[in-house]
Amino acid sequence: MSDTLTKLTYQTFQQSKNYFGLAHKLLSSRLKNIISATEQTQIQPIPNEVLLKAQQNLNNLLEVDWEDAERGVYPKSVLFDNPWEDFFRYYPMVWLDLPQTWERAQHKRYQEFTQDVDINGYPSYYVQNFHHQTNGYLSDLSANLYDLQVEILFGGSADPMRRRILAPLKEGLEVFSDVSPRQIRVLDVACGTGRTLKLIRAALPKASLFGTDLSPAYLRKANEFLSQIPGELPQLLQANAEELPYLDNYFHAVTSVFLFHELPAAARQQVIEQSYRVTKPGGTFIICDSVQMSDSPEMESLMESFHETFHEPYYKHYTTDNLVERLEKAGFENIDIRVHFMSKYFIARKPA
């Protein structure tokens, strides 16, 4: 297949996921209004200029994604990777869970867990029904639905946004050119279902990969998911990112994707401090998370309401938090900032 045809196929693939996400949001919104007709709230339409800007930013993201694959940051096959079997299997469950989600949001029940879920031993900020979902991040159902829900939220662009960490990750590892590829160690903090680790494996097929997460359910899902791919299985541990169970100066690189907006300010700083501690001198720490207010002023109204719409209790503070200052306070330097579509990236170096 020619590069032109492959690129066209990729663009069509991504747009189909985008349309799927839009269709789901439209149908679920209308269904909610039918079920809760007496409790409708007036939702302001998104201005056309914001929609056009978002589409332009999405197109730019997909172009960069293609270019990185073309120059060998990761194989082109990664561009078409999607867990279709899981998505078709679990999509009906998304709909089945929506009525409970809507009811929970309506009555502002933010810390509601079923009796079979053990909530002891977790930080209080973690015991939340993030996204109003049943049992927060502490159930197998949540772990099974997460990737599908994120794809719907971001219109199929979650993986392209995750992949934007791979180029700076590989560039940062160049300072360790005298180290065997098999001796390179990379940690993904709050690894969730393991999708970021799978992408890192595609870019660094010989490296030793590690992941931590607070949720046993998500780690079970990650182990199941990652065991299906070739190469050494990443070493996964249940751990609080504020107390990483690793030696000082152990990793050549540390990543964290879509975590920081779900942390209160003090925890953000502590996770950064821990990431600095376990990163080798000369190593790289990469944060991927939501854009902030200063990056997209035209989306201010959406960001203002996002924390209530999706119950992200720490998101609003995150949107104005100075992460560069936090990184520098921990000791990182030469901090590079990039923005792609709905995500922002902080690439920080630990002094050699």
What pLDDT, on a 0 to 100 scale, did the predictor assign at position 25?
85
Output the 3-class SS for 272-294.
HHHHHHHEEEEEEEEEEEECCCC
How far apart, in whole angstroms, are the C-alpha atoms of residue 42 and residue 31? 15
Can you give the pLDDT at residue 342?
A: 93
User: What is the DSSP secondary-structure string of 48-97?
Assistant: HHHHHHHHHHHHHHHHHHHHHHHTTSS-GGGGG---HHHHHHHHHHHHHH
Q: Alpha-carbon distance 340 to 319, whole Å?
A: 16
Question: In the CATH scheme, what is the code of domain 158-349?
Answer: 3.40.50.150
Gap between the Cα atoms of 162 and 82, Å rounded: 13
User: Do residues 168 and 284 touch, judged by C-beta distance below 8 A?
Assistant: yes
The per-residue pLDDT for 334 is 97
The C-alpha atoms of residue 310 and residue 299 are separated, in whole angstroms, by: 16
Per-residue model confidence (pLDDT) at position 45? 67
List the domain boundaries for the chain: 158-349
Contacts of 349 (CB under 8 A, 6+ apart): 172, 282, 283, 284, 285, 332, 333, 334, 335
Q: What is the SS3 assignment for 123?
A: coil
pLDDT by residue, tens only, the chain of 352 residues: 578 878 889 988 898 888 888 888 888 888 877 766 545 455 556 777 878 888 899 999 999 999 999 999 999 999 999 888 888 899 999 999 999 999 998 899 999 999 999 999 999 999 999 999 999 999 999 999 999 999 999 999 999 999 999 999 999 999 999 999 999 999 999 999 999 999 999 999 999 999 999 999 999 999 999 999 888 899 999 999 999 999 999 999 999 999 999 999 999 999 999 999 999 999 999 999 999 999 987 777 778 888 888 899 999 999 999 999 999 999 999 999 999 999 999 999 999 9
Answer whether 258's CB lies under 8 Å from 146's CB.
no
pLDDT of residue 57: 92
Instruction: Look at the chain and count its residues.
Output: 352
Residue 209 three-state SS: strand
Q: How far apart are CA 208 and CA 184, in angstroms?
A: 6
| Whole-Å CA distances, 215 to 137, 166, 255, 319, 326 | 6, 25, 18, 25, 26
Task: Please tell me the predicted confidence (pLDDT) of residue 18.
Answer: 86
**pLDDT at residue 36, as a whole number:** 61
The tokens for 180 are 């065997």
